Structure 1
Amino acid sequence: MTKKYLTQGKKPHPLIEVWKDYPEILQNDNRILPVPSIEQMIGEVFAPGKFYYYVINFADSTISHHHENILKIHCLSKYPVHLKEIIDLIHPDDLEFVMEAERMSIEKMKQINGFDYQQELKTSYCFRMRTSAGNYELFHHQALHTYKDENGRLLQAVNIHTHIEHITQNNSYIVLVSGINGREDFHQMQWMKNDSCSKSAAVVFTKREVEILSCIAKGYATGEISGMLNISQETVRTHRKNILKKADARNSSELIRKAFERVYL
């Protein structure tokens, strides 16, 4: 019997060309899966602006359990049911990067043996999508892995797209694989167009600084950050000064813009 490589969907899409190279990692048998605890997972992501999410099933690339914002943001008359409908919204010039970003993420997880704890990792990068205004605008993409089969192959993920055009219009083409649920993984990779040997970008911030940066971006005050991270307020203030200095930012607004441009979140 010939193996199926995620091609049995009625609407093939470009990412299949990446996924079919990793049959040992991605599940391709149809099965009914439970709904992930999406609202709880949203606490692990960063969304300073309008966002939506959807669940993707890797067996046939169908999507479901959409957040209602997807309709208004992209001016859709009905919820998309296949990943191809999402990919068709991406700027054609960004498709090459999206495909390579998927491959870079998978290869990084292989390198760090991340498939053993894939549900505690998220991937993120940016690309342009068509909006209700008729323009292509920048979105921050985050993927969280929800269910795996008995052989450790990925069955399902939740994708979150946040509209960030109001923060920055600059795409750094950086791919990030980072830890959630307490894990401290933090791996940045820089994509270079027409360069198959993508180089890892230097990490500017420490893990603690990234945690504080995320809290600042979510609007938490110094005292709140101190309590959340169990450190003194003076330590928070010191970290904040160091973060602003490293980012060459004058204030929090400029800091958040640069954080998205360099995909620290």
Structure 2
Amino acid sequence: MKEKQIDHPIKKHPLSDVWSSHPEALSNNYQAIVTPPPIEKIIGEMFAVGQFYYYVLNVANSTLSNHHPDLLPMHGLKKFPKHLKEIIELIHPDDIEFVMEAERMTIEKIQEIGWEHQLNLKCSYCFRMKTGKGNYEMFHHQAIHTLKDENGRLHQSVNIHTNIHHITQKNPYTVLVVGIGGRNDFHQMQYGNNKNIELPPVELTKREIEILSLLALGNSAKQISTFLEISYHTITTHRRNIFEKTNCTKISELIKKALEWGLI
């Protein structure tokens, strides 16, 4: 079922200037007909190893809808935010500059790949957010693009925030643009001259990073074999090599290191 987008006053936020500098990529059609995104399919393609929530972002006017109920208790809110500005106000002030630069980096990378592939690309990075306990904890942000307007510009995305503070408090300050829906893109970008990232002891191959990401999603070797159309034996060999290279013995340890290395 389609529903007409309800117009709301535009509220200025730190990402406004970043987005407005790319009018060829992002929609400004406030009255476009919006189709609710396929949330169940999106959840299947997201990385979540802790409590999470999502919301749908109307890129044209930064309004929010379709909030996951856990958003309220995780941030100690009494009502769902209506504008992206309210979400950004929950981010640690010291991380805002990084978030702005991360958005610039993702837009420029997608432009390099090609706007026509935008709906099959997912962007992710980490930052600290205020919680219902009154402190700031590390969150993993993912943006999955779900709808373009009639001019081919991005009109809608689903943003997913996962609390990863129980896994790591380190922010690698890396930005990822990866393929979904059949694409195998993997682009890892480093913010500034940050020295805080802990580099992997050895370099993982592109295929190993792809399998690592699928392992982090909770997929078994058999499921990954089916998804990638590669033999089960090949997947188990890659998995063994990943654990050996990263010096890990269990998946939870692998996910922790992968987050701190900015690989997922």
Normalized against structure 1, the TM-score is what? 0.88
**Residue number in structure 2 paired with 1:5:** none
Contact 1:175 1:190 in 2 (8 A): yes
Structure 2: any 5+ residue segments left out of the alignment? 1-7
8 Å contact from structure 1 (residues 139, 165) kept in 2: yes
1:123 maps to what in 2?
123
Whole-angstrom distance in 1 between the partners of 2:116 and 2:67: 28
What does the per-residue CA deviation read over 1:127-181, in whole Å, with 9 as the maximum and x for residues that have no partner? 0000111111011100011111222111111101111011111000000001000
Equivalent position amino acid for 1:86 in 2: I
1:224 deviation in Å?
Answer: 4.4
Distance, in Å, in 2 between the alignment partners of 1:218 and 1:12 is 35
SS of residue paired to 2:34? coil
The number of equivalent residue pairs is 252
Q: After superposition, where does 1:49-128 map in structure 2 within 5 Å?
A: 49-113=50-114, 115-128=115-128
The 3 A distance-change label for structure 1 pair 12 and 212 is same
1:191 counterpart = 2:191:
yes
- Residue aligning to 2:161: 161
CA apart distance, 1:231: 3.5
2:22 corresponds to 1:22:
yes
Asked if 1 retains the 8 angstrom alpha-carbon contact of 2:56 and 2:158, the reply is yes
**Does structure 1 retain, via aligned residues, the 8 Å contact 2:29–2:149?**
no
Q: Distance in 1 between matches of 2:260 and 2:150?
A: 38
**Contact 2:147/2:155 (CA < 8 Å) preserved in 1?**
yes
Kept after mapping to 2: 8 A contact 1:184/1:207:
no
- Supply the distance in 2 between the matched residues of 1:23 and 1:223 (Cα, whole angstroms): 43
Partner of residue 43, structure 1: 44
CA distance in 1: counterparts of 2:217 and 2:10, whole angstroms: 40
Aligned twin of 1:11: 11
Whole-Å separation in 1 of the counterparts to 2:49 and 2:173? 20
User: What is the TM-score normalised by the length of structure 2?
Assistant: 0.88
Query: 1:192 is paired with a residue of what secondary structure?
Result: coil
Listed one character per residue, the Cα deviations across residues 203-222 of structure 1 (whole Å, up to 9, x for unaligned) are: 94334323322343244444
> What is the aligned-residue identity percentage?
59
Aligned to 2:263: 264
**One-letter amino acid of the structure 1 residue matched with residue 244 of structure 2:** K
Say whether the 8 Å CA contact 1:124–1:263 is kept in structure 2.
no
> Quick check: 209-218 or 158-167, which moved more?
209-218
Deviations along 1:50-104, one digit per CA (max 9) or x if unpaired, are 1110011112110000011101111110111000010000000000000000000
Contact 2:125 2:174 in 1 (8 A): yes
**Residue identity opposite 1:154 in structure 2:** L
SS in 2 for 1:123: strand
> What SS does the corresponding residue of 1:181 show, helix, strand or coil?
coil
CA shift in 2, pair 1:140/1:72, >3 Å: same
In structure 1, the residue matched to 2:254 is 255
